[in-house]
Structure 1
C-alpha cells in the first residue's frame, strides 16, 4: 500500500502558492490525485481553465473561489467542486495563509491565460 508521509511530500511553489503532492501516479495511484495547497496572504489567483473536474476542501484560513465569474467565499470545512472546462481562480484576501485539500483525476491539465496547457507536476 503506497503511503506518503506529509513530511516526505514533494513540494512545488507557483504563483504565491505551495503545492504538497500527496496522492498521484508517481507514488502509485492509478486514478486519483490529492494535494494540499497553501495560498499566501494577499494573493490574487491566476485565472485558468481546468480541463477536468476539481474538488476543494478548505482546511484553514479563508479563500474566495471564482468559477466562471461566480465568486464564493469559503470558510474552513467548506467544500466546492468546479466542473471540467470552467475558468477558475483562488484568492486569499486575508493576512493569514489558507490551506486546502484538492483532488482531481490523474491526467488532469489546465489551460493558462496565454493558451498553453499546463500539467501540474503535483498531479502526475
Structure 2
C-alpha cells in the first residue's frame, strides 16, 4: 500500500439507474426503485475506486464491514452518485465514510471497512478451498 492512501482520499461511482438495478427486476410487483443491494454495490464501488490508485500491483482490497442506511428511493432514469472518503488507515484496514445521492435526495449513507490484501496469498487460500484442503 502506498503512503498516499491517507484520510481525505475520495472515490466516486456514478450510474444512471436502469431496469436491472430495480427491486421490481428481481421481485415482480415490488416498487420500481433502485434496490438496496444495488445502492450498496454503488457505494462499495466508490470505496474501491478511492483505494485502488494507492495499491501496489501485488495488492487488492476487499470489503470486510459495512454500516449502511438506505434513506430514500431512486426511480429509474435518475443518476445515483456514490462517494467514499477515507477516514483512517490502520495496518491493512481502511475505514471510509460514504454517501449516495440522486438528483433530489441523500439516498444512503454509512461506513465501510476494506482490507488491503496480497493477491497471491489470497489466491492460494482460494485454491485450497477449491481443492477442499
TM-score over 0.5 for the pair: no
Whose Rg is larger? Answer: 2
In the superposition, the TM-score normalised over structure 2's length comes to 0.27
> Which has more strand, going by share of residues?
1
> Which has more helix, going by share of residues?
2
In the superposition, the TM-score normalised over structure 1's length comes to 0.28
